[in-house]
Amino acid sequence: MGHGRAVLAIVAPGQGAQSPGFLLPWLDLPHLRTRLGWLSACAGMDLAELGSTADAATIRDTAVAQPLIVAAGLVALLEVFPVPAEAFGKVGVGAGHSVGELTAAVGAHVLSAEQAMVLVRERGKAMAAASAASPTGMTAVLGGDRAEVATVLARHGLVAANDNGAGQVVAAGTLAELEALQADPPAGARLRPLEVAGAFHTRHMAPAVATLAGYASAVTTHDPRTRLLSNADGSVVHDGREVLGRLVRQVAAPVRWDLCMATMGELGVTGVLELPPAGTLTGLVRRALPGVETVALKTPDDLAAAADLVERHGAPNPLADSPTWRMVIAPSKGTFRRHEGTDRFAAGDLVGVVVTLRDEQPVTAPHGGHVVEWLVEDGDPVGPGQPLVRLHPQAAHA
């Protein structure tokens, strides 16, 4: 599905992408500086100052880096799409790496910018606190045989906290476990210790998940207006509450960027625009999806190239012109098997399953209602984000 035509993806990087002064060239744009001032009020810190004059050690602090990265992506997104609603007719898919998932969730209209800034402020503080509880860290494992890398990490009690595809895995655990890895690395792999405070995306972050879940329970969401990929498994998630739940759980779960890129391939993505601080994800995309055109939006000088990419690769996504509240979509590529026997679904009822090469993914009705029309037949091949059935919502089933 999706091949033979243009499909634009917008991606948002995660922690570690920031560098001292990366926001400085952006501050000459008057609207952007004003907007950044507002997001600074939400974050409780001066983001313009931190992104322009602060040193590497200051912006490496988890509690600072996370709000700074999300805010940078959000203000740049408004420069690319000054009328945000127009983006939904052009952007085929959105995704973020780790904390970048919050940026992507705002772009897809699941959360407001203000909600995201409060959540990222508390996420950064909670992850910094969890990191301080015990000495943990992360090391990039570059190259080597994939199966052997997994075996060696397991032997040392380490977790592949990020699988970034293109032969790049990030190992995470205690400093003692990481030291053992240094002494006994996988054959043919290079190790690069990362400048992070702790073992993100592992069980060591469980306290942060609990903190964030408390805040998330008070947040209202909307369903995504474009196909939004999840770091958990690369699937398209189309229920706003589910997006938020995954954002919370992801803090202590591995980032499967490899699976997100695999889904982009299945969607036939032809162009990828990376929001600032850009460069990391476009590098991974170029290796994993050769032939896909990329633009890393690093400074305002790149805005013309970004606009050109959007113009040439932007095309209406299948959710842009449909009332999303009555659409149930496929989470991934596979074969659809319909659940027999009803033309009404209550919220949470099983609609069917998508059988993939890896597993079976259940498809549930997020809001319930009665069937207006089935858009696919039982046994049909489906693509990620493909509409399956239209439901007419009813108060009794909402």
Residues designated catalytic: 98, 201
Please name every residue paired with 382 in a beta bridge, in sequence order, or none if there are none. 334
Query: First CA to last CA across the chain, in angstroms?
Result: 31
* Pairing between β-strand 350-355 and β-strand 369-374 as defined by DSSP bridges: unpaired
How far apart CA 19 and CA 292 sit, in angstroms, is: 26
> Would you say the C-alpha torsion 274, 292, 356, 378 has a positive or negative sign?
positive
Instruction: Return phi, psi of residue 207, to 5°.
Output: -60, -35
SS3 category, 274: strand
Helix axes 280-288, 257-266, angle to 10 degrees: 60
Contacts of 348 (CB under 8 A, 6+ apart): 364, 365, 368
Chain length of the chain: 398
Answer for the pair 269, 261: CB distance below 8 angstroms, yes or no. Answer: no
- The span from the CA of 283 to the CA of 142, in Å, is 14
Separation of alpha carbons 80 and 63, rounded Å: 27
Please check whether residue 340 is in contact with residue 350, taking contact to mean a CB–CB distance below 8 angstroms.
no
> Using DSSP, how many helices (H) and how many strands (E) does the chain show?
14, 17
Which tokens belong to 233?
A: 């498994």
Residue from 6, 1, 2 nearest 315 by CA: 6
